[in-house]
Structure 1
Amino acid sequence: MLRRQFLGAGLAAATLAACRTAPRSASREEFDATVLADGRGSHRTLAAAVADAPADGVRPYRVLVGAGRWREKLVIDRPNIHLVGADRAASVLFFDAAAGQARPDGQPWGTWGCASVIVRARDFSASRLSIANTFDYLGNLDSPDFQPMGPNGLQAVALMLDQGADRCTLADVDLRGHQDTLFVDAGRSVFRRCRIAGSVDFVFGSGRALFQDCELQSRARPASKPRQGYIAVPSTPAAQDCGLVFDRCRLTREAGVPDGSVALGRAWRPGRTFSDGQYGDPGALGSAVYLSCWMDAHIDAAAGWDPMAYTARDGQRVMLEPQDARLFEFDSRGPGAARSHNRRWLDAAQAAAYAPARVLDGWEPGT
């Protein structure tokens, strides 16, 4: 009888411990790998768990990310990896590299290498967790002690969807950084009920991305920066019909972000190397659309969008104006919503062209 009571108590304790580290309504048996703070998971690190995934990706390889802070620079190079956290506030993946800082080999991380999580394979999924780049942006912004390598030193990406990524799904995920938080540079992706926080250009890239019911939170910068930030910065290829589409999202702000200080975005022509020199890619014609989004008063109601400079073929610095790109909105609401020459509104028929099936080029992600 005593032994039965002891075993029962032990089972109850084990069950309670599992509940503290596993997502609600999930058991460890549902996962192919587990990474737990107490070290009792199948793998000690997320990188080790991903490395053990099958290379063919025939079925989802589910990884339980237990409650805790996981400092890793994670590359997803196997298809069909599904990361499932305990809760977006509890399971936090982070790293603290900026583009202008040195890698272990002495070379700069660069924009394409500084991300905390880089996805280079199809069918990636993440849910109920956070991904952050914790580089001290504010501490280094005007610091004479920070001597970055290269012109983009303060860029610090949290998540990058790189070449090879496609059909990526993120649900109930927090993405946090300052400059360049989310780099959607390839493939098709959908973000549902996510919160993306940053200040400068914090959702950017050339991929197809649909944001449904997400929060876009602008973070504060020093008062010496009259333009506190920019949200969407697409570099969509001109031949691609859709880029960044925000559907029923909320544009919010941290305390300290002034009224009228944030632009909806600007179109980016990234520098490329061509046979006749290096200059802004003339084939990039950014596409970003806000559909039925609520906007707080930090959005610049009059201007809406800003121009962005790039280097032309002749070496001159040229501004790509909002009217020369594909920057639109429809049914905007809230104190930051307005109509102006610079803020081009679609009509209902035009907005209907940005249906999910078109944005995602025929891909129909599950719910």
Structure 2
Amino acid sequence: MINREKAAVRLTVSKDRDGEFKTVQEAVDALPEYSLEKKEILIKKGIYKEVVRIPATKPFVKLIGENKNDTVITYDNYAGKEKEGGGRYGTSGSASVFIYADDFEAENLTFENSFDRTKVDTTGTQAVAVYAKGNRMIFKHSRFIGRQDTLFVNDGAQYFDQCYIEGDVDFIFGGARAVFENCRIHSADRGSATNNGYVTAASTQITKPFGFFITNCRLTSDAADGTVYLGRPWHPGGDPDAIASVLYHNCSLGAHIQPEGWTDMSGFSAADARLYEYRNTGPGAVFHEARRQISDQEAENWTIENVLDGWNPKIEQ
């Protein structure tokens, strides 16, 4: 469980030489392995252009930014980019920040992938800002900036509180159990009159009753009305058991949301996935037979604790 005692280790990162480290990765590398004590890394304002990896051997790490808008971890790798030594990064290898550790926390930070697809001739335009694969992860007052595939919640359980998430194509995706509460989810305008992207691409395993729980969030965009889908079902490698599970719950939906709500992906039908809504409002919350609404009784099962498999991040541990 999350250890909320006073941090046993507290390190400071600063670009202005008034911290112990100049890069975030240097501070992560200095942390002890296999410690169950809380470890904090304070990151002062600045743009930190680096790839950061927090391994599974370093749980209970908390990254704290000085200011969520001015403390930025960024890089510009992308799926089609060639790696030194051969091969390409691929989607999962393109992230600016990789988090494999359980009981991770982040607060007051911007995570960004700054790849500009207009300047590179490639079909591999996926560019991940954060790759998360761990249990009991908390992100608060943080920003996730990218375009295609911004936030890869691959596996485990994650909680996003009062965050800002921006992208255009499948920019919240993966097979994790993830709760997004009181967040702003912003679809970037691709300039199309018909299709400006998809918010989610969940790949929830059929054995998991819950996937993405998006509750009390605002969906915004500068894109044309009716041109952004709520999501589509992602089946990695054609896995037939990856049956997307998503619920938009008490959300405010902007006019950019496509009236049909959901769409198919790679030959897999949205109608066969678990894609639902409950009591959404706003100009994008229109009636359409393809947009399935759950009942009040069904909605009672969608609690933070149920979705996160018995873990409630809002309870002090």
Task: Settle same-fold status: TM greater than 0.5.
Answer: yes
- The one-letter code of the counterpart of 1:300 is Q
The answer for the alignment partner of 2:3 in structure 1 is none
Matched, 1:83 2:84: no
Give SS of 1:211's match: strand
- Compute the displacement of 1:98 (Å): 0.4
Give SS of 1:185's match: strand
Cα 1:211–1:187 shift into 2, 3 Å:
same
Matched, 1:159 2:130: yes
- The answer (yes or no) to whether the contact 2:78–2:90 under 8 Å persists in 1 is yes
The answer for the alignment partner of 1:5 in structure 2 is none
- The answer (yes or no) to whether the contact 1:237–1:286 under 8 Å persists in 2 is yes
- Compute the displacement of 1:320 (Å): 1.6
The one of 282, 290, 293 equivalent to 1:334 is 282
- Compute the displacement of 1:123 (Å): 0.8
- The one-letter code of the counterpart of 2:104 is F
Give SS of 2:169's match: coil
- The answer (yes or no) to whether the contact 1:235–1:285 under 8 Å persists in 2 is yes
- Compute the displacement of 1:348 (Å): 1.0
Instruction: Detail structure 1 runs of 4+ shifted over 2 Å in the superposition.
Output: 137-140
- Compute the displacement of 1:31 (Å): 6.2
Matches within 5 A, 1:134-213: 134-140=114-120, 146-148=121-123, 153-162=124-133, 165-213=134-182
Matches within 5 A, 1:327-366: 327-366=275-314
- The answer (yes or no) to whether the contact 1:286–1:325 under 8 Å persists in 2 is yes
Matches within 5 A, 1:301-320: 301=259, 303-309=260-266, 319-320=267-268
- The answer (yes or no) to whether the contact 1:186–1:207 under 8 Å persists in 2 is yes
- Compute the displacement of 1:321 (Å): 1.6
The one of 258, 272, 275 equivalent to 2:224 is 258
The one of 89, 110, 113 equivalent to 1:133 is 113
- Compute the displacement of 1:30 (Å): 9.0
**1:235-279 CA-partner distances (Å, limit 9, x unpaired):** 0000101111101000001x3x100000000111110xxxxxxxx
Cα 1:246–1:286 shift into 2, 3 Å:
same
In 2, the alpha carbon distance for the partners of 1:347 and 1:281 equals: 29
Matched, 1:324 2:272: yes
- The answer (yes or no) to whether the contact 1:339–1:345 under 8 Å persists in 2 is no
The answer for the alignment partner of 1:296 in structure 2 is 254
- The answer (yes or no) to whether the contact 2:171–2:198 under 8 Å persists in 1 is yes
**1:205-252 CA-partner distances (Å, limit 9, x unpaired):** 0000000000110001133x7210100110000010111110100000
| Higher RCO by CA contacts (8 Å cutoff, separation 6 or greater) | 2
In 1, the alpha carbon distance for the partners of 2:35 and 2:262 equals: 41
In 1, the alpha carbon distance for the partners of 2:179 and 2:122 equals: 36
- The answer (yes or no) to whether the contact 2:8–2:38 under 8 Å persists in 1 is no
In 1, the alpha carbon distance for the partners of 2:15 and 2:44 equals: 6
Give SS of 2:292's match: coil
The answer for the alignment partner of 2:244 in structure 1 is 286
Q: TM-score, normalised by structure 2?
A: 0.94
- The one-letter code of the counterpart of 2:91 is T
Give SS of 1:300's match: coil
The answer for the alignment partner of 2:4 in structure 1 is none
- Compute the displacement of 1:155 (Å): 0.1
The answer for the alignment partner of 1:316 in structure 2 is none
- The answer (yes or no) to whether the contact 2:8–2:37 under 8 Å persists in 1 is no
Say which one has the larger Rg: 1
- The one-letter code of the counterpart of 1:346 is I
Give SS of 1:260's match: coil
- The one-letter code of the counterpart of 1:304 is G
- The answer (yes or no) to whether the contact 1:31–1:64 under 8 Å persists in 2 is no
- The answer (yes or no) to whether the contact 1:234–1:244 under 8 Å persists in 2 is yes
In 2, the alpha carbon distance for the partners of 1:281 and 1:161 equals: 20
In 2, the alpha carbon distance for the partners of 1:243 and 1:103 equals: 33
In 1, the alpha carbon distance for the partners of 2:163 and 2:38 equals: 21
The answer for the alignment partner of 1:113 in structure 2 is 93
Q: TM-score, normalised by structure 1?
A: 0.81
- The one-letter code of the counterpart of 1:74 is V
- Compute the displacement of 1:174 (Å): 0.3
Matches within 5 A, 1:32-71: 32-71=10-49
Give SS of 2:229's match: strand
Q: CA RMSD in A?
A: 1.4
- The answer (yes or no) to whether the contact 2:9–2:38 under 8 Å persists in 1 is no
- The answer (yes or no) to whether the contact 1:98–1:110 under 8 Å persists in 2 is yes
